[in-house]
Amino acid sequence: MRVLRIVAEGDVTSFRYPYFMVGVQPTYEMPPPATIYGHVCSALGEWLDPEGVQFAYHFTYKTRFVDLEHTHLVKASRGKMPDSNHAKALEGKINPLQRELLFKPRLVLYLNRPEWKDNFASPRYAVVLGRSQDLFTYTSIEVIELEQRQEAYLEHTIAPIDMAARTPRGVVTLMPRFISYQQHRFPTFERYVVLTRRVRTQELLRSPQESLTFWTDPSAPKVNGLQLGLLFHRWV
C-alpha cells in the first residue's frame, strides 16, 4: 500500500474539548479527526471531498502544562461624545482562563493519497495544528510502501471504538470526527479509543478462528522485532 508519510513538529499545541466554554480549557491527548481534516485542507488550499480518503497517525509530545490566557469580550455600545454627536464605542471585559497545552508535539501522518506530496511540500496556507497560533514545520514528506502483518505494535494513536472490547489499555473518548463547512460548521462526533500505552497485536482479544492483519510502517522504529501498526480512519 503506497501512502504519503508526513512528519510535522511544533513547540506547543492544544486540542480544545468542545463542551468547555469558560474558566478552563483542557486538551485532548490526540488530535481529533476533524482537526486532521482541517490540517490537510490547509495544505491543499481547499475543502477537499473526504469520500475515499483514509488517514492514520502517530502523535507524541514531551509533556503537558497549563498556561494562563485571556479572552477579550468586546461589544459595541452607543454613547454620547463630548461634541454632542452620537458615536459607537467599544466596551468589554477581559476574562482569564487556564488552557492546557502539549509541549513539543510531533505528528506522523499517513494518507492514502501519495499524489498530494507536492501540496505538502508547498502548502497553500500556514502550517498549524490545533489553534491558529500553533505553528508547525514539516520535517519530512515522502511516499512509502506499507506492509501487511499479523503481528505489530500500536501506540500513540486513536483506534476504532470496537478496539475497546479487545484491550483494556485504551481510553474511550468522544471526538469531533468531521466538521462540514457546507452546513455552517455542523460537527459530527464519534467515539474512539485513545491508545497512549503500547499494545502488541498478539495481546488483543479475539476468537480462536479470527485472524487480524494490520498495515505497518517498515521505516518506523521496531520494538522487539515488531513494526509499528497503523489504524486507518475515514471522515465519512
Q: Is the pLDDT assigned to residue 171 strictly greater than 80?
A: yes
pLDDT band at 83 (very low <50, low <70, confident <90, very high): low
CATH code that applies to domain 2-68+96-234: 3.30.70.3120
Provide the pLDDT for residue 21.
67
Provide the pLDDT for residue 206.
87
Tell me the pLDDT tens digit for each residue of 216-229: 999 999 999 999 99
Provide the pLDDT for residue 33.
98
Distances (CA, A) of 173 to 72, 88, 176: 30, 45, 10
* pLDDT mean over 73-102: 72
Mean confidence (pLDDT) of the chain: 91
Task: List the Cα angle 73/25/176 in 5-degree steps.
Answer: 105
Tell me the pLDDT tens digit for each residue of 188-197: 999 999 999 9
User: For the chain, what percentages of helix, strand and coil (3-state, to nearest 5) are there?
Assistant: 15, 50, 35
Provide the pLDDT for residue 207.
84
User: Which helix (DSSP H) or strand (DSSP E) does residue 9 occupy?
Assistant: strand 2-10
Residues 51, 53: Cα–Cα separation, whole Å: 6
User: Which helix (DSSP H) or strand (DSSP E) does residue 58 occupy?
Assistant: strand 54-60
Provide the pLDDT for residue 211.
87
Provide the pLDDT for residue 183.
81
Spatial contact of 26 and 112, defined as CB atoms under 8 Å apart: no
pLDDT band at 76 (very low <50, low <70, confident <90, very high): confident
Kindly state the DSSP code that residue 67 receives in the 8-state scheme: E
